[in-house]
Amino acid sequence: MTKSEADMRGTARAPRQARGRERREQLLDAAAALIAESGLAAVSMHAAAERAGASIGSVYHFFRDKDQMLDALAERHDAELQPAFDRVLQRSDAEWTALSPAEMIEQLIGWAIRYFVRHPDALATLDLHDQAMHAEFRTLIDRVMRARLGAELGSHAATTFDAVVLGTLLFTREQDPRSRDVVVAALPEMMATYLTALEAKQKRAKG
């Protein structure tokens, strides 16, 4: 879903009182649990109401439809992830090159991968096709890889890194929840192994 599509649907009702905010969060938690257990297809307004122990009228009080409820879930995760991503963007090239491959991958994507494992609904609802977000992520990867590997090899590595990480995340959104977490959790180690091999290759070439 693109930002313009979300804007066309409108923003979910924001409750003013604490009791209303608590009820809205309970409904979002219910939708998140349904996604974690059975995927996006399991989510409906009635299913969320039943899971939260709420009336269907209560769900429609806060959300016009299922899509708006999923938008609200995505917004909740975006609010939690963005500050961490901003801190990653602020790291200097010197900081990135001083880290071991495993440490670098941990600082680059490990924190986000762990978040997706803890919150499967984030992976399902966040717009991984968002062009602005993807461009920002790709620019960061390109800068980091060039700093560690040089312009040519770093550029190739960034392309591969971007394709593997984004492709894996998109692929696992359609997988059985039991296998999804295993695949996603393996990403940091896999990419650290890839970076270690590239740096060893570069060292041999220079030697």
Q: Any idea what the CATH number is for the domain that residue 32 is in?
A: 1.10.10.60
Max CA separation in the chain (angstroms): 70
Whether residue 127 lies inside any domain: the answer is yes
Radius of gyration of the CA atoms of the chain, in A? 20
Intervals of the chain under pLDDT 50: 1-8
Q: Which domain holds residue 129?
A: 91-206
Region of 170 (left: φ > 0; alpha: ψ -120 to 50; beta: rest) is: alpha
Q: What is the pLDDT of residue 6?
A: 45
Do 63 and 136 fall into the same domain? no
Do 100 and 37 fall into the same domain? no
Q: What is the pLDDT of residue 194?
A: 96
State how far the alpha carbon of 74 is from the alpha carbons of 3, 11, 168, 204, in Å. 11, 12, 19, 45
Q: What is the pLDDT of residue 13?
A: 57
51: phi then psi, degrees, rounded to nearest 5: -65, -35
Whether residue 155 lies inside any domain: the answer is yes
Cα 47–chain centre separation? 24
Whether residue 84 lies inside any domain: the answer is no
Do 52 and 131 fall into the same domain? no
Do 58 and 101 fall into the same domain? no
Do 104 and 59 fall into the same domain? no
User: Smallest Cα–Cα separation from 121: which of 64, 202, 51, 62?
Assistant: 51
Whether residue 81 lies inside any domain: the answer is no
Global pTM? Answer: 0.79
Q: What is the pLDDT of residue 4?
A: 44
How many domains does the chain fold into? 2
Token pair of 106 as six digits: 């941990």
Whether residue 165 lies inside any domain: the answer is yes
Do 186 and 114 fall into the same domain? yes
Three-state SS annotation for 38-107? HCHHHCCHHHHHHHHCCCHHHHHHHCCCHHHHHHHHHHHHHHHHHHHHHHHHCCCHHHHHHCCHHHHHHH
Q: What is the pLDDT of residue 182?
A: 87
